[in-house]
Structure formats: structure tokens, C-alpha cells
Amino acid sequence: MIELEKLNEFTESHGALRTGKGLVSGVIALTLAILCFLGVLAFHFPEYLTTPQLRKSYDVAVIRNIMLVAMAIAGGISLVNILFNRARWLATFAFAMVALTAFLGGHKVEVDPNFPDNTPYIGLDWFILDLLGSSLIFIFIEKLFALRKDQPIFRAEWQTDFHHFIVNHMVVGFVLLATNLIAHKFFGWAASDGIRGWVQGLNFWVALFLIVLVADLVQYWTHRAYHEVPVLWRLHAVHHSVKSMDWMAGSRQHILELLITRTLVLAPIYVLGFSKEVIDAYIVIVGFQAVFNHANVSVRLGPLRYVLVTPNFHHWHHSQDQEALDKNYAAHFAFLDYLFGTAVKSTKLWPEHYGVLGDYVPNGFVKQFKFPFTWKG
């Protein structure tokens, strides 16, 4: 089928999308349609396709309404593009996905609440909600406070980062299970009831500051090791290969690096025994900063930039500029880099170029997944 060949070629291409051809609206329609299709699958098989911790927190009625609106938008955009012959092949796929979602019951699927919580699962619900929430929030922020105003939303290589986003979110259940098992097995001996009791007795805000500081200290030295140990750089180079900074850029991360980093960060959090409320707050903070600090936004925060990591601080870490190589490792507290002598010192406000110096990391998700095991450098 010619249409299927076009879609395959489109998902593997690496150029920015041109406006006025129906491609941008077609991608939006197809993305919404696929999310609706995944949503209806999650309604049918919640025990296997939804996250146990997350499914207890959201209102299913609200999710149904969001799905209905998304189906209407995707279907409407697709029909308009088909009628006006604008990337009809893309619009046809989007409309077909909406029709299939409706055929499977759409937003009206009844969910039986009596199912076990301990089944192996793929976090489709987390993927759907995170993609919708992140795109709506951060694209708006990027347009409001854009650093590079001429950078399109669907910039060059966006497909590669979207593939990373999909895979890294789909395996969230496996990553959480694996990191918990590893942390308990290898670091359980260090847990002390006395220390845990003291930590759990701390004021919420004090405990929140402590958990972020502890996590960032671990991330700082782990991150620094990724740069200074050649075998670890093979993994981390994938993350640095992104050449355009935006909300999607942080998703480009090798799955092994994700597993290693999360395990090492989880270990002290588990050993110290922070309360669930503090851990939940930390997850919100790390989730926001991980996206925001890669975003295409012109934010420096004045003198606070020496204390907190900002997009300006982290953009320098991704720079090819000589003065920025192997600098700015912290994820939350910029003062750690100033303390350990690894902060960027430049007279320029922002870096000029991003990516790996020498540009030797291949593009495309599959090639980047294999890169650490095949690189001869």
C-alpha cells in the first residue's frame, strides 16, 4: 500500500514539518486518534494497560470526556484534510483510527472495577496523560517565552525524540519494577529504622528539600560519570545527540541509562525512608524540571540561576561550545556545580550550537538504541 509506505517513510524522516501542506494538522489529528485508540484499549484491559498507582488518582468520567473531545477534533481535522486533499494519506490513517476507536466502544466502554492490582502492566494511561499534558503545557510556554522564535514545534529530528518518548513511557512499569527490585536487593542492608524514623518525622518542606538534595547529589555524580567514563559515555551520548532544545528533547535517552540512573537515585530514597507524600512531591518536581530545563524558553531567573537549575543552565550542558563541554551536571540545584567546580563560565548568555561534538551519533531510535554496542570510537 502506497499510503502505508508514505507513513513509514514519514515516521523515519528527520526534517522539520512545513506548514500549509496538511502535515502539521495531520500529525496532530493522527496523534490524538492514536491516543484515543490506546485509551479505549486501556478501558477494555485496565488490569494490564494502566498504572496501579495512577488509576486510583484520576476521575474516569473526566477521562471519558477528554477522549470524546479528542475523537471529535481528530475526526474533524481528518475530514477537512481529506476533502481539501491536504496530505490525504495521513488524514486517512487518522480518520481510520478514530473510526476503529468508535467501533471498539470509544468513550462509552464500561470498566469493571473488580480486577487485581498485582498483574504485570504497561502504563498506557501514564503515556497518554503525560503526552497530552506535557504537549499542551510546554508548547504553550515555549510559544510564550520562546528562546529561538523561528524554531517550529515539529522541528528537525522530532520523530526520533517522539520514538524515545513512546518507548521510555511504555516501559515505565518495567522500569519501576526493576529499579525497586534492584534497590531492595542491593541496598536493603543499609536501611535503618532509626534513620527512617527520623526522616519520616521531619517537616514536609524540610523533607522535600532533603529528598531533592540527596537525589541531585546522586544524579550529579552519576551524570558526571556518564561523561568521564568512556563505556558510560556510549550510553549518554545518545541523550546529547539532540541538536534542537525543546520540551521533547529530554526524552532522547537510552533505556539502559534510564534504568541505571533511576536505580541509583531510588537507592538513597529507599534507604532513608521518605514518606509517600514527600516522594510524590519529588516526582512532580523532577518530572517538571526534566522537561522544562530542555525547553525552548528564554528563562534565566536572575541571581537564582546560581541556586536552581534553569533552562539556561541546562542548555549550556548540551552545548558544543568548548567552554561548556563536561559542565553543568546538576539536575535541580545549580550550586552543586559551583561547589564542585564544574559550572560553565561564559560571557555569552546562551550557547550557539547543541549536540555531540563531532556529530557521530546516528539518527533514528533503532540506530541510537544499538549505538552504545556498535560504536567503534
Give the range of the structural domain holding residue 284, as residue numbers without chain letter.
158-373
Same domain, yes or no, for 25 and 167? no
Same domain, yes or no, for 105 and 181? no
How far apart, in whole angstroms, are the C-alpha atoms of residue 53 and residue 40? 19
How confident is the prediction for the chain on average, in pLDDT?
86
Assess if residue 150 is contained within a domain: no
How far apart, in whole angstroms, are the C-alpha atoms of residue 311 and residue 292? 7
Question: Which residue's C-alpha cell is 522537561?
Answer: 291
| pLDDT score at 333 | 96
- Ranking 3-12, 84-93, 237-246, 294-303 by mean pLDDT, the lowest is 3-12
Confirm if 125 and 51 have CB atoms less than 8 A apart: yes
Same domain, yes or no, for 192 and 318? yes
| pLDDT score at 275 | 86
Question: Which residue's C-alpha cell is 555524580?
Answer: 221
More confident residue, 50 or 343: 343
Say what percent of the chain tops pLDDT 90.
48
Assess if residue 141 is contained within a domain: no
| pLDDT score at 371 | 93
How far apart, in whole angstroms, are the C-alpha atoms of residue 336 and residue 342? 8
Domain's final residue, options 65, 100, 121: 121
Confirm if 18 and 107 have CB atoms less than 8 A apart: no
- Ranking 4-8, 236-240, 333-337 by mean pLDDT, the lowest is 4-8
Angle at 145 between CA 140 and CA 149, to 5 degrees: 95
pLDDT at 131 over 80: yes
Same domain, yes or no, for 165 and 116? no
pLDDT at 205 over 90: yes
Assess if residue 128 is contained within a domain: no
Assess if residue 137 is contained within a domain: no
Q: Residues in the chain, how many?
A: 377
What is the b/e burial string over 29-60, where b = at least 16 CB atoms within 10 angstroms of the residue's CB?
bbbbbbbbbbbbbbbeebbebbbbeebeeeee
Same domain, yes or no, for 312 and 230? yes
Same domain, yes or no, for 177 and 57? no
Same domain, yes or no, for 163 and 82? no
pLDDT band of 291, cuts 50, 70, 90:
very high
pLDDT at 286 over 80: yes
More confident residue, 37 or 199: 37
Average pLDDT over residues 11-29: 77
Same domain, yes or no, for 364 and 226? yes
Same domain, yes or no, for 177 and 325? yes
- Ranking 45-59, 248-262, 339-353 by mean pLDDT, the lowest is 45-59
pLDDT at 375 over 90: no
- pTM: predicted TM-score of the whole model, two decimal places: 0.84
Assess if residue 148 is contained within a domain: no
| pLDDT score at 179 | 62
pLDDT at 180 over 80: no
**Number of domains forming the structure of the chain:** 2
Residues 71-81 have pLDDT tens digits of 999 999 999 99
Domain's final residue, options 70, 104, 121: 121
Domain's final residue, options 76, 98, 121: 121
How far apart, in whole angstroms, are the C-alpha atoms of residue 262 and residue 251? 14
Assess if residue 147 is contained within a domain: no
Same domain, yes or no, for 263 and 192? yes
Average pLDDT over residues 349-375: 90
Contact partners, residue 100, CB within 8 Å, separation at least 6? 37
| pLDDT score at 237 | 96
Same domain, yes or no, for 105 and 249? no
| pLDDT score at 53 | 74
Same domain, yes or no, for 360 and 235? yes
Calculated CA dihedral for residues 305, 219, 158, 77, nearest 10 degrees: -80
Assess if residue 142 is contained within a domain: no
Assess if residue 66 is contained within a domain: yes
- Ranking 171-185, 276-290, 318-332 by mean pLDDT, the lowest is 171-185
